[in-house]
Structure 1
Amino acid sequence: MNSNYGFLFVAIVAEVIATSFLKSSEGFTRLWPTLASVAGYVIAFYFLSLTLRTIPTGIAYAIWSGVGIVLISLVGWLWFGQKLDAPAIAGLGLIIAGVVVVNVFSKSVSH
């Protein structure tokens, strides 16, 4: 894996962790979850900025948002007990398919 995709992976994971702490921050009224959320977003944006050195912005953001949506949906399901019905699962599958299509078939992606 190219290091820029490694940076993108770190950015995605940091963003998912930060977003997960938003719920427990209770509107930024609880200190530790708020600090964890802010730190996660700082890490995410830093590593996204490293990614943008070589991966086009639109492609990087499409991957980040698509994978992030799927991962945060899984976090919601596994840790917060949120329900995913059949249409939600189908939609998440389409998001994954879109990320794969962009990465495998698009000439915009630097391989």
Structure 2
Amino acid sequence: MPYLYLVIAIAGEVIATSSLKASEGFTRLLPSVVVVVGYGVAFYFLSLTLKSIPIGTAYAIWSGLGIVLVASAGWLVFGQKVDLWGALGMGLIVAGVVLLNFVSKTSVH
């Protein structure tokens, strides 16, 4: 269950962060509401996650996957360009999250 909470937290953060651009500096109501609700969901579910998953591990997964997913949303939704170095960097972030979860003893409870 804690990893499901973490997935919900990541989804909330990605939706909220992606909506920041659409809010145009909090001048548009609906995207601004999505930002506030999304971050509320993200932090609530992250707090539930931390009952079972060590904070360093949970935050590394949350922030790492958040970076990759927000950058992907920027590319897909807002037409932002991702060059080879950006893609490589995101690949390294994903590799780090995988190593942390499947190889490192850090994520052991």
TM range (shorter): over 0.9
Residue equivalent to 1:24: 22
- Which residue pairs with 1:102 in the alignment? 100
Report how far residue 30 of structure 1 moved.
1.2
Q: Which blocks of at least 5 consecutive residues in structure 2 are unaligned?
A: none
Give CA deviations for 1:67-102 in whole Å, capped at 9, x if unaligned. Answer: 000100110000000000000000000000000000
Over the residues paired in the alignment, what is the CA RMSD in angstroms?
0.9
Q: What displacement does 1:108 show?
A: 1.9
Q: What does 1:58-69 correspond to in 2, within 5 Å?
A: 58-69=56-67
- AA aligned to 1:106 is S
Q: Distance in 2 between matches of 1:15 and 1:80?
A: 17
The 8 Å contact of residues 15 and 41 in structure 1, kept in 2 or not, is answered as yes
Task: Give the number of equivalent residue pairs.
Answer: 109
Residue in 2 aligned with 1:45? 43
Large movers: runs of 4+ above 3 Å: none
| Alpha-carbon distance between aligned partners in 2 of 1:73 and 1:30, rounded to the nearest angstrom | 22
Q: Distance in 1 between matches of 2:45 and 2:55?
A: 13
1:38-58 CA-partner distances (Å, limit 9, x unpaired): 000000000000000010111
Percent identity of the aligned residues? Answer: 61
- The equivalent residue for 2:7 is 9
